[in-house]
Amino acid sequence: MYRDVNNISLLLGEVMLKYIIRTSNIKTRPSNPSPAAAADRYKHPPKTPITMNPNRQTTKSATASIILAFLILGIVFLSGCNKSDDNNVPVAINDLTIVNEYQMSNQEMEAHFASLPNDPNAYDYMDLYLELLEMSDTLLLEHTFSKVTYASTDNQGNPVTLSGLLIYPSGGITAATPLISHNHGTELEKKYAPSQFVPGQSDFKNFLEVIIAWVISAMNNWIIIMPDYQGMGDDVGEVHPYCIKEPLAVSTADMVEATHVSILNTLYPSWTGNTYIMGYSEGGYVTMAALEELEKRNVELNGALCMEGPYDLSGAMLDIMLRDTAFPVPYFLPYMLVAYHHIYPDFFKYNEMLVDPYNTDIPEYTTGFYSTDKVNSIMPANHILKEVFTDAFTDTLSNTGSRAHQRIYDNNTYIGWKPVTETLLWHCVNDDCVPFTNYEKVKSVFGPLPNITYTEYPPITPIAQTTIHQTAAPIAFMQGTVWIIEREKE
């Protein structure tokens, strides 16, 4: 009875919220567009970046206030029942083991988005939320968050148990739903891997991609998995293999296959049999690598969304390492060098790569236990990456015949194959962290295949105190979500 009352109050809140958003005269978007109409807006990138109506700030602020007001309707019912009674008892479910489970309502999701900053002149995460809300025909009251573990391999190819997050609609879903592997972007701290998100305890701003996956799941009633990867989450005993293709591909593919087995034979929602993989930034790199791995395993996929990934390590990204200008996110280089040192120790020795003090500071602070700000602080103050290298190692990296350069080349995600799966390759043309030349290289190698959609998003202006790469993310996630919606209608 308690859950019934809770569900009724949450349903009323959702209905009233959607009614007000869709009918309020302060809205700047068309009222209640169909999914097809909304998708059409994103099928082809506009010739100019998305710009907001001058009243956008008022619109989004008012919407946030509405959301917060209607939280009161259901929040009093949530305090005693958002966690499952046995959420600390591991339960083996075929190839996945559930470690913890939590139920979370859409009211709580609204609260998270209502507290995010918003910019009146840019498409941000509040816009993503509102856009998906407009497109959604059915909002379920509750979603289950399951921390899971599964069998995979470590950085050396040995058996290991890895962790990840499973998000799925609960509380009355009847229609079959697809499975989406949402592969997360760069995260330096192990404790902020997706599986470490604990509703009611974690600061959601440290888990932004979990919240994004949650809203995408909630608005579309999709099953979403998020692998932590090696060296993240519970796998604290090894480094994260940043920009190393094989282990990242294997860990992601293993979770996809383990989830297939589990959802076919357990309590999870009915599955359509359709599977998509998607990711942005490092997640885009992982997605392309996992796509190759899953196709090798003959795992049927319905789509892959590779967005803003550093696919061309030996070209576009090496140029960044060796250029004479500042790079906005210097932690990229230490993260990659530490990974390559551990995987290829003969070719990436600290004392041969790095001058003092970087030969000691980089391995000391790039361990997965220090923040991005800390790692950035040990890099050159001018953010010119090449200043950490010895002259000899700079020459080594510049030499395409060197063994170090070859190891980097081997981890390009486009080498020696072409996808047969329907694929979206998405990139903003003026990205300042993952250069557009990554996209151009992949496009030149893969060519004009009928199964690949190439999307070149026009230049954008970064939101204050962020990079272009960060500003483009909600646009990419929105277009990627609509791309999946269109394919699910076919």
Rounded (10°) angle between helices 125-135 and 468-489: 10
DSSP assignment string, 268-327 = SPPEEEEEEEEEETHHHHHHHHHHHHHHHTT---SEEEEES----IIIIIHHHHH-SS--
Q: How far apart are CA 7 and CA 24, in angstroms?
A: 25
At 123 the three-state DSSP class reads: coil
Amino acid at 377: S
Half-sphere exposure of 373 (CA within 13 A, CB side): 0
pLDDT at 399: 98
Residue 456, number of CB atoms within 10 A of its CB: 14
Distance of CA 161 to the CA centre of its chain: 21
Q: How far apart are CA 369 and CA 8, in angstroms?
A: 43
Q: How far apart are CA 160 and CA 445, in angstroms?
A: 34
Q: The pTM is what?
A: 0.85
Query: Domains of the chain, with CATH numbers?
Result: 2-311+414-489 (3.40.50.1820), 313-410 (1.10.260.160)
DSSP 83: B
CB 348 within 8 A of CB 341: yes
Q: Which residues pair with 83 in a beta bridge?
A: 102
Return the biggest CA–CA distance within the chain. Answer: 72
At 75 the three-state DSSP class reads: helix
Per-residue confidence in pLDDT tens, the chain, 490 aa? 333 334 434 444 444 444 444 444 333 333 323 333 333 433 333 323 333 333 444 445 555 444 444 443 443 333 334 444 344 445 444 589 999 998 887 777 777 777 777 788 889 988 998 898 888 766 556 788 999 999 999 999 999 999 999 998 876 556 788 999 999 999 999 999 999 998 878 888 899 999 999 989 988 889 999 999 999 999 999 999 999 999 999 999 999 999 999 887 665 567 889 999 999 999 999 999 999 999 999 999 999 999 999 999 999 999 999 999 999 999 999 999 999 999 999 999 999 999 999 999 999 999 999 999 999 999 999 999 999 999 999 999 999 999 999 999 999 999 999 999 999 999 999 999 999 999 999 999 999 999 999 999 999 999 988 999 999 999 999 999 999 999 998 8
